[in-house]
Amino acid sequence: MKSDHIKKGLKRAPHRSLLRACGLKDEDFKKPFIGIANSFTDIVPGHIHLRKIADAVKKGVRKKGGYPFEFNTMAICDGIAMNHEGMRYSLPSREIIAATVESVSEGHSFDGLVLIPSCDKVVPGMLMGAARLNVPTIVVTGGAMVSGIYQGEKVDLISVYEALGSYSSGLMTEEELYELEKCACPGEGSCSGLFTANTMACLTEAMGLSLPYCGTTLATDKRKIEIAVETGRTIVDLVEKQILLSDILTNDAFNNCLAVDMALGGSTNTALHIPAIANEVKNDDLKVDLDLFDRVSREVPHICSISPAGDDTILDLHNAGGIPGVLKTIKSKLSTNIITVNGKTIEENLKDLGDVDRNVIRSMDNPVHSEGGIAILKGNLAPNGSVVKQAAVDEDMLYHKGPAKVFNSEEEVVESILNGKIEEGDVLVIRYEGPKGGPGMREMLNPTAALVGISIKKVALVTDGRFSGGTRGPCIGHISPEAMEYGLISIVENGDLIEIDIKNRKLELELDDEEIRNRISKVNHPKKELSGWLNLYQKLVSSADKGAILR
């Protein structure tokens, strides 16, 4: 066992002495050492209950004959960090989380890992760190929040953001906004809806790294604790069988993951996180890029209409059959003979699955949309790719050509929207918000929510930054190359025509070659004073089409 490095032989007497200080007895040194990465914190709703889950995992580990060691990683709440400088730290935190899992695990020679994440960057960050180690690993995600109820309707965090636009345009009173604020987020769990956190939880299960139904079991459901105990037992089995992370995270597993992503209509942030995880896996034959996203999107239809694209919730998805129900429905598009963390293949896990609720998880021949939830657009404005959640775009906006209105930050565009300076037909261009230009590639939920709130319909957004998993509408993000790397988004001027053709995967700036060359020669990037972690991050981060990984 790997833990023999710190517990076996005379030369490890000092190490054992320190471990005895932590409570270990003679018999414990014969047990596999299981690291439990817990991202508990008091300020992130998705994480405030994770101590209970960690305790349940430890209980399962002990029952099966392992010895658990809990350690912590950081977590940032994207909703609280949204629309201010704090959001610049959200995506970079993924790298700190990965480094924490790697460092603590390697420093203490754990034989296996249980990861307990919940929110947006924590799930991929933990998986990236575990992939570097390539030890037996299981994930138990914290679970989604229960939906709030406002005036008889289901609401969530996005409802509050969109209500800000309604209030600014006189469609909602301050008292109504206050009442919505109080009930939209009723307690523990990741924000209700198929936003990034819940998308990543579902995809982690789809890759075979969580036990069945873990991804959709709500944070408040007592079954979540049962899954945690079972996860603790199962990790000891994985260590004994030496089923490594790379044995599960194969090309087939990533293809299955993307197929489920497209079927669900998940967050566009998966186009950052899934390639970043794949980049860390010890498999030279593994290739997960934007072209794969688009190929799978053309092959797998969108079959679930979950908030923000529709009215169903994560609980509805769970009750309809959960991720096993989705896997069963799109089985013809999957590799089902691959192993999962419970030691069974996907085929074996689906064997006893009952009926699937076709009102929530539609059949392949009756989809919500004929293509998957995400589309990859290319063209002179994004030669390396850009990303849009086409499942959340109205049919009449799948093609749009309009004049650009250019902004060099999120704050500028939000001010213009709330002050009524945006017109139907505009294409809002938000630049210098990319991985390097931000730096940190801020999510921009405020501008998209504000547009929904003030009922402007025929406006598109184009950015080298990214959008929240709660975004809906024609919002094209991850423009690569970004403005800071002299992509054409850096030369767009007010009034330039931009053509967006989602069905044909096209994003074009209508300028002739001579004008493009002339403008590029005159680009002058805005200066930003940076210090600390963001200064280092800006120097090391790659482009969005590569997953914004560090180089």
Nearest by Cα to 71 from 21, 34, 18: 34
Count of C-beta atoms within a 10 Å radius of residue 367 = 19
Helix and strand element counts for the chain (H, E): 21, 14
Identify any residues that bridge with 176 across adjacent strands, giving them in sequence order. none
Contact 451, 167 (CB under 8 A): no
Q: Retrieve residue 437's tokens.
A: 């230009």
Report the chain's C-alpha Rg in angstroms: 23
Instruction: State yes or no: is 468 an active-site residue.
Output: yes
Strand blocks (E) in 146-271? 148-150, 153-155
382: three-class secondary structure by DSSP: strand
Nearest by Cα to 386 from 305, 499, 282: 499
Angstrom CA distances, 96 to 111, 146, 201, 273, 421, stand at 22, 29, 20, 14, 39
Peptide bond into 124 cis (omega under 30): no
Q: Which phi and psi (to 5°) does residue 24 adopt?
A: -75, 145
The residue type found at 175 is E
Contact 61, 232 (CB under 8 A): yes
Contact 171, 27 (CB under 8 A): no
Identify any residues that bridge with 509 across adjacent strands, giving them in sequence order. 498
Angle, helix 322-329 to helix 196-206, in steps of 10 degrees:
60
Phi-psi region of 247 (alpha: psi -120 to 50; beta: other; left: phi over 0): alpha
Helix locations, 399-444, DSSP H = 410-418
Name the residue with tokens 């139907």: 424
Cα 276 to chain centroid, rounded: 11
The residue type found at 551 is R
Count CA atoms within 13 Å of residue 118 on its CB side: 33
CA angle at 249 for the pair 244 and 254, rounded to the nearest 5°: 175
Helix (H) or strand (E) holding 329: helix 322-329
Instruction: Specify the length of the chain in residues.
Output: 551
Count of C-beta atoms within a 10 Å radius of residue 115 = 29
Which of 39, 192, 307, 468 is an active site residue?
468
Residues labelled as active-site residues: 468
